[in-house]
Homo-oligomer: A and B are copies of this chain.
Amino acid sequence: MKNAGANTYNEINSQTVVWEQSLERISKVDFGSFPRGQDFNQIIFTGCGSTYYLSLWAARATQLRTGWVCLAVPSSELFLCPEAWLVPSRKNLIVAISRSGSTTETIKALKMCNQRGCDASIVVTCYPDSELAGLSNAVVALPHAQEKSIAQTRSFTSMMLGVSHITSNSYPETLPQRLSEQLSFIVQRDRDTASTYGKDDKISRFFFLGSGSRYGLACEAMLKMKEMSLSYAEAYHFLEFRHGPMSMVNENSLVIGLMSPELNPLEFNVLQDMKGLGSQVMAIGPVEFEKNFKELDHFIPIDFDDFAMLGEVLYLPILQLLAFERALANGHDPDNPHNLTSVVVLEA
């Protein structure tokens, strides 16, 4: 395949630049007119596929940071059965996330919420002129994060930055540059790691584990691996993995832990157990805990600095590269995933 994955490769690597552009653009959005989380009883983050996983991340990260009650609901579930999620007597804020802004299910979900008297909505998208954006008067638009690839990479992380800014649009002036520098550093250091594990033909099963907001990121890493490379890939809440799903772990597995910033030892114990079952084990976590990870197969340290919620974007690029490398090793074109299109449009 000539130039297989050229777009995806470019888009993954461009994040060092695109994140700065995203933050610069977001900082110019007039947040004065935005609905404020504290004015609502419940915030529902919604999307489909990658943006549902982004919602899972956003709901937990936002509730942890602000104390506001947050849910993540797939767009389809929201419009198929709104009574199972919405409470009419409470004030609901909907945050609808869609790369294209034209995903039928998310449009239907937002229309349904509007009809049922939801009190406000915010749309996060890469297409400011899309139908979805038109359904809401508060839009976080990230047009320079648009992608040619079907699998979302830089759009996903840029929309994470966009969602972070719903809770706060102030950060130190130097933060965008520092975040980009940290990503450049990680990619330069660990690009070969992604390549080595991506090409390792002993590995045929990938498991991604994360607690709290990192569960959503584990799901996204799982989906990237699946979409690009058609590999066996699963994601679980960290400690849930021992309650049955680990039955699938064998010597052909790679288990990747997205560790808590506070390094909970119970997460580490799960990884040790999986190593005991013959799996290869990798962890991504705070640089200051590097010494704890000597006994695992590989550790990717991240310097979270004081990026707060924004810093969680740093977990993803090496996992995107891992999926990319595995796709090439499997003979698939990462730019053109099997069976998929970039937007799911339902017939009327």
Contacts and interface: CB of A to CB of B under 8 A. Distances in A.
Contacts of A340: 244, 246-247
Interface in A273-288: 277
Contacts of A246: 339-340
A67 interface: yes
Given A63-B85, A80-B212, A264-B80, A74 B240 contact: yes
A84 B64 CA distance: 5
A311 to B, nearest CB: 17
Contacts of A71: 71
A215 B245 CA distance: 17
Contact of A234 (B49, B211, B234, B264): B234
A202 interface: no
A337 B266 contact: no
Contacts of A230: 247-248
Report how many copies the assembly holds: 2
Contact of A238 (B76, B85, B212, B244): B76
Contact of A211 (B67, B81, B215, B226): B81
Given A240-B48, A338-B247, A84 B105 contact: no
Most B C-beta atoms less than 10 A away, residue of A87, A245, A247, A338: A247
Interface residues of A, number: 57
Interface in A71-116: 71, 74, 76-77, 80-81, 83-85, 87, 90, 105
A64 B86 CA distance: 10
A154 interface: no
Interface in A203-259: 211-213, 215, 223, 226-227, 230, 232, 234, 237-240, 242-249
A151 B213 CA distance: 29
A175 interface: no
Contact of A339 (B77, B85, B277): B277
A212 B245 contact: no
A180 to B, nearest CB: 28
Given A80-B266, A248-B230, A243 B49 contact: yes
A346 interface: yes
Given A245-B226, A247-B337, A339-B249, A60 B80 contact: no
5 contacts: A48-B239, A63-B84, A64-B84, A76-B211, A246-B340
